[in-house]
């Protein structure tokens, strides 16, 4: 199989052009074509001689992802099914809200974490996505935002399929290209990485100082409850995660967002609020209370609006910054925890 030319750094491209007897400035041209202009064919690189394009085509390929299908929700959310080079399917979402255009993108084909409240957990993890496949999702969702809403992307969340910190190298490199002036030039403060809490990788993320935002899928205030719904808690329990978040804040001075899905008769009591407050107040943070989105064969039910509001007030009475996040795209299975390659 040919190598995707985007897997090469600009320095590696220079070496390639030297080997094939071409001037090194051609490497800069190719780099601009594949990243800034996001072309998916060597024939589109019109400032390269035809013979040069032919040489590149003989050695390399561009494994572009394509939009297999898309669905538009009644609230304007758009869900995309992306087909990748080996014929696997992943999903991404465009979430429009006022002037804010957010891309929710995937980092893996499937997921290995088997969280009990998430439809993606029913899928096997097939493989990690390459960093250029993650990048391609952003390019395609940005294009859709401009076509449908005449606005560019303003934000990116790594909250689609997969656990970003279990594909760390590719996720990191995708962020570097998305924020690079040689790529999309987006501010890292517009990017949020959501993780179930892989403690050692949170510390590595802090050390690498990408200056992005961090969201933690906490979802329960005790190890017993969290372990029942999230098997990862066995190896990364609440204490380990909070210790890593302490390290994150000490290094980055960036406030953490705790994600907390509201489950009826499970994690919404006054005692739950008290325990949750004790956890989140250990570091500067806020809490997003998330509506549970029912999934096929799910074990849980959604908390009522009144109970969610009462829980919010209990947190606020303990000086916790919290808000309720309304799910978008529920009617097309595009909301949090619903991405499972269902089309219609």
Average pLDDT (293-300) is 72
What's the token pair of residue 205? 């993320």
Residues 82 and 22 occupy one common structural domain: no
What average pLDDT score do residues 243-250 get?
96
Spatial distance between the Cα atoms of 227 and 230, rounded to a whole number of angstroms: 5
Residues counted in the chain: 344
Residue 157 lies in a domain: yes
Same domain, 213 and 131: yes
Q: Is residue 341 part of a domain?
A: no
Taking the model in full, what pTM does it have?
A: 0.92
Identify whether residues 116 and 47 lie together within a single domain.
no
What secondary structure letter does DSSP report for 84? Answer: P
pLDDT, residue 299, reads 76
Q: Does the pLDDT value for residue 201 go beyond 60?
A: yes
Question: Strand 100-104 and strand 155-158: pairing?
Answer: parallel
Residue 343 lies in a domain: no
| Same domain for 182 and 35 | no
For residues 187 and 247, state if they share a domain: yes
**Beta bridge partner(s), residue 124:** none
On whether both 136 and 235 belong to a single domain, the answer is yes
Residue at 342 is within a domain? no
pLDDT tens digits for range 91-107: 999 999 989 999 999 99
Residue 78 has pLDDT above 60, yes or no: yes
pLDDT of residue 111: 84
Tell me what pLDDT residue 302 has: 86
Same domain, yes or no, for 52 and 122?
Answer: no
Do 48 and 74 lie in a common domain? no
Domain range spanning residue 51?
A: 3-61
Higher pLDDT, 120 or 310: 310
Residue 150 and residue 252 share a domain: yes
Query: Is 82 in the same domain as 43?
Result: no
Q: Both 40 and 189 in a single domain?
A: no
- Can you tell me the distance from the alpha carbon of 179 to that of 163, in angstroms, rounded to the nearest whole number? 21
What pLDDT, on a 0 to 100 scale, did the predictor assign at position 331? 64
Number of domains in the chain: 2
pLDDT at 257 over 80: yes
Question: Which whole-number Å values give the CA distances from 283 to 191, 212, 320, 323, in the listed order?
Answer: 21, 17, 11, 17
Of the ranges 67-76, 164-173, 180-189, 239-248, which one carries the lowest mean pLDDT score? 67-76
State the pLDDT at residue 50: 95
Name the one residue in this structure whose structure tokens are 């909070």: 242
Residue 205 has pLDDT above 60, yes or no: yes
Question: Is 228 found in the same domain as 186?
Answer: yes
Among the candidates 42, 61, 80, a domain finishes at 61
Tell which wins on pLDDT, 111 or 246.
246
Closest-CA residue to 257 (of 307, 314, 206, 320):
320
Residues whose CB is less than 8 angstroms from the CB of residue 59 and which lie 6 or more positions away in sequence, other chains included: 2, 3, 16, 20
302 lies in a domain?
A: yes
Residue 103 placed within a domain: yes
* Model pLDDT for residues 11-47, shown as the tens digit of each residue: 999 999 999 889 999 999 999 999 999 999 999 999 9
| For residues 265-281, average pLDDT | 95
pLDDT bracket for residue 332 (50, 70, 90): low
Residues 6+ apart with CB under 8 A from 147: none
- Domain end, chosen from 61, 83, 111, is at 61
DSSP SS3 for 67: strand
Q: What 3-state class would DSSP assign to 46?
A: coil
DSSP 263: B
Residues 116, 120, 123, CA angle at the centre, nearest 5°? Answer: 100
b/e sequence 285-309, b meaning 16+ C-beta within 10 Å? bebbbbbbbebeebebebbeeeebe
For residue 262, pLDDT beyond 70: yes
The residues carrying an active-site annotation are 91, 336
- Which range, of 115-119, 182-186, 198-202, 289-293, averages the lowest pLDDT? 115-119
Which pair of structure tokens corresponds to residue 252?
Answer: 């980055």
Query: Does residue 327 belong to any structural domain of this protein?
Result: yes
Average pLDDT over all residues of the chain: 91
Does any domain span residue 338? no
CATH code of the domain covering residue 241: 3.20.20.70
Please state the rounded mean pLDDT for residues 253-267.
94
- Residue 117 is given by DSSP the state T
pLDDT band at 344 (very low <50, low <70, confident <90, very high): very low
Does residue 196 contact residue 217 with C-beta atoms inside 8 Å? yes
Q: Which of 61, 85, 111 is the last residue of a domain?
A: 61
Q: Which phi and psi (to 5°) does residue 296 adopt?
A: -60, 135
CATH number at residue 32: 1.10.150.530
Asked if residue 49 has pLDDT above 70, the reply is yes
Higher confidence at residue 57 or residue 301?
57
């Amino acid at each position: 199989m040919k190598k995707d030319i985007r897997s090469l750094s600009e320095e590696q491209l220079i070496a390639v052009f030297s080997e094939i007897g071409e001037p090194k400035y051609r490497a800069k041209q190719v780099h601009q074509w594949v990243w800034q202009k996001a072309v998916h064919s060597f024939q589109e690189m019109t400032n390269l001689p035809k013979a040069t394009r032919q040489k590149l085509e003989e050695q390399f390929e561009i494994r572009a992802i394509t939009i297999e299908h898309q669905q538009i929700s009644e609230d304007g959310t758009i869900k995309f099914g992306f087909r990748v080079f080996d014929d696997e399917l992943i999903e991404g979402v465009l979430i429009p809200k006022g002037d804010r255009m957010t891309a929710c993108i995937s980092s893996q084909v499937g997921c290995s974490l088997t969280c009990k409240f998430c439809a993606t957990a029913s899928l096997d993890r097939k493989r990690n996505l390459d960093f250029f496949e993650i990048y391609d999702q952003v390019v395609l969702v940005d294009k859709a935002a401009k076509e449908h809403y005449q606005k560019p992307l303003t934000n990116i969340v790594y909250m689609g399929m997969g656990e970003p910190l279990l594909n760390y190298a590719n996720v990191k490199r995708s962020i570097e290209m998305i924020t690079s002036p040689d790529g999309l030039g987006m501010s890292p403060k517009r990017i949020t990485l959501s993780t179930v809490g892989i403690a050692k990788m949170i510390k590595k993320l802090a050390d690498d100082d990408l200056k992005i935002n961090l969201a933690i899928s906490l979802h329960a205030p005790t190890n017993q409850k969290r372990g029942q719904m999230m098997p990862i808690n066995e190896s990364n329990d609440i204490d380990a995660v909070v210790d890593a978040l302490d390290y994150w804040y000490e290094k980055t001075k960036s406030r953490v967002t705790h994600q907390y899905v509201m489950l009826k008769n499970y994690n919404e009591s006054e005692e739950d609020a008290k325990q949750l407050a004790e956890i989140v107040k250990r570091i500067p943070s806020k809490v997003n209370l998330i509506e549970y989105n029912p999934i096929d064969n799910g074990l849980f039910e959604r908390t009522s609006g009144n109970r969610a509001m009462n829980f919010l007030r209990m947190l606020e009475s303990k000086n916790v910054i919290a808000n309720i996040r309304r799910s978008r795209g529920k009617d097309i299975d595009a909301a949090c925890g619903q991405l499972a390659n269902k089309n219609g």
